[in-house]
Structure 1
Amino acid sequence: MTPRKVSRVALILVLSLLPALAVGAPQARSGFLIKQVQIRPESGQLVLNAGVELGFNDTVLEALDHGVPLTLVFHIQVRRARAWLWEDSLVDEQWRYTIRYRPLSERYEVHRLPSLNGRDFVTRDAAIRALGELTDQPLIRLDRLDPNEEYELQIKVFLDIEELPLPLRPMAYLKPSWKLSSGWTTWPLKP
C-alpha cells in the first residue's frame, strides 16, 4: 500500500469514528454543584439551608419523563476542623429525596424518603429546582459543639444508582451519564 492510500484509509477511519465519539461525549451542564450553604442557630440547634444546582443530562431526564423515579442522596457530615482521619464525625447522615413523574396526573412529585407525602409540580424544571433546595433542615444541637473549637460541614449530593429499577442498573453502572455527583464540598462551621 502506498503512503497516499494509507493516508486515505486513515482519514476514512477517523471520519467514520467521529459520530461515535460525539455520541459518547459528555453533555454540557450535567452534574451537581452545591452553590450556597447557610447555617444559622435556631431553638438550641444549627439549621441548614442549602442550594444545589442539579444538572441532569438528557439520558437521566428521559428516564424521569418515562416514569423512572430518581433518588438523590445528600450526604452531610459535621467534623472538627483539622480532625484526624480516624476521628468520628459529630454528624454523618444521608438524607434521601426522590423525584418522579406521574403520567396519569401529568405532575412531577418530590418527597423526602421514607415519607410518601410529597409536593407536586406542573413542570419538570420547577420540581428539579425544589429538589435542589434544602430549607430549615436541623443539623446539630448547639450543646454538642465546643464554642472554642472550629468545625466544618461537608456536603456531597449524588444520584443513587442502587435505587433505579433493576433493568436499568447494569446500564447505569456502565454509562458515565448516570454517575452524577457534586463531590465533597467543605464549609466552615463556627458555633
Structure 2
Amino acid sequence: MRRHRHWRIAVLLPALMLLVGAAEASARDFDVERVETRLEEGTFLMDANIRYAFSERALEALENGVPLTVEVHIRVRPADAWIWQESLVDLRLRYRIRYKPLSERYLVSQLPGERGRTYVTRDAALAALGEIRDLALLRSERLEPDTAYEVQLRVSLDIEELPLPLRPIAYLYPSWKQSSKWTKWPLTP
C-alpha cells in the first residue's frame, strides 16, 4: 500500500509542477485585451489595447539597455475563411521599447525609425506600447455585402532583433518566446 502511494506521488508531482510552470508562463505572456473598429469617411479604422507582460529576463535586459522589439500581426478576413484563403489585409507593425540610462527615460517608437515618445516610468512606456489608435485597415468598398468579416490580431516578441550575443540564449530559454494567441474580433462599422 505504501509503495503504491509513493508511486502516485512520483507521477503526480512532476505533472503538477508542469501545470504550475505552464500557468506561470502563460500569465507572463502578451494579451490582446480589446479591438474596436469604426467606419470613418469610407475607411475602417482600428483601436486596440495590448497587455505586455514581459518575462523577468526580458525586463532585466531592457533595464540594461537592450531594446525589445514586438511585432503586431493584423489580418482582416471573412469570418468563415479557410486557412489557405488570402487575407484582405495582412499588416505587420513593429514597435520598439528601449531604456535610455543617461536620461533615465523609456523610448517607445514605431519602426522603421527611431523617433518616438519618451516616458519616465516603465509602466507608462509599456501602457503606451500597448495602445494602437486610428490605424487605417481598409476601404469599405473592398468588403462584399452580406459577408461577415473579422479582425485577427497576434503579438510576439521578435527575438531576431535582439543583439547578436543575446540571441542564442533567447532561442534556448522559453521565457524569451513570448506571444499572444490569435484573437478574433468582428469588423463592425
Q: Same fold (TM over 0.5)?
A: yes
Write the distance in 2 (CA, Å) between the matches of 1:27 and 1:119.
Answer: 30
Query: Which of the pair has more CA radius of gyration?
Result: 1
Indicate which of 30, 42, 48 corresponds to 1:32: 30
Unaligned runs of 5+ in 1: 1-6, 8-13, 15-20
Native 8 Å contact 2:79 2:150 kept in 1: yes
**CA deviation vs aligned residue, 1:84-131 (integer Å, no higher than 9, x gap):** 222110001100000000111111000100122100000011000000
Q: 2:13 is matched with which residue?
A: none
Q: Does 1:186 align with 2:176?
A: no
Larger RCO, structure (CA 8 Å, separation 6 or more): 2
Q: 1:46 is matched with which residue?
A: 44
Q: 2:55 is matched with which residue?
A: 57
Q: Does 1:142 align with 2:140?
A: yes
**Runs of 4+ with >6 A deviation:** none
Count matched residues.
Answer: 173
RMSD, aligned CA: 2.2
User: TM-score, structure 2 length as denominator?
Assistant: 0.85
Offset of residue 190 of structure 1: 3.9
Q: 1:94 is matched with which residue?
A: 92
Write the distance in 1 (CA, Å) between the matches of 2:182 and 2:26.
Answer: 21
**CA deviation vs aligned residue, 1:13-35 (integer Å, no higher than 9, x gap):** x9xxxxxx8xxx54684111111
User: TM-score, structure 1 length as denominator?
Assistant: 0.84
What is the DSSP-based 3-state SS (H/G/I as helix, E as strand, rest coil) of the residue aligned with 1:55? coil
* Worse-matched range after superposition: 127-136 or 79-88: 79-88
**Structure 1 pair 28–85 and aligned structure 2 pair: CA distance change class (3 A):** closer
**Structure 1 pair 160–137 and aligned structure 2 pair: CA distance change class (3 A):** same
What is the DSSP-based 3-state SS (H/G/I as helix, E as strand, rest coil) of the residue aligned with 2:115? coil
Q: Does 1:71 align with 2:65?
A: no
Write the distance in 1 (CA, Å) between the matches of 2:74 and 2:26.
Answer: 27
Q: Does 1:121 align with 2:119?
A: yes
What is the DSSP-based 3-state SS (H/G/I as helix, E as strand, rest coil) of the residue aligned with 1:167? helix
Q: 1:170 is matched with which residue?
A: 168
Native 8 Å contact 1:47 1:138 kept in 2: yes
Native 8 Å contact 1:29 1:57 kept in 2: no
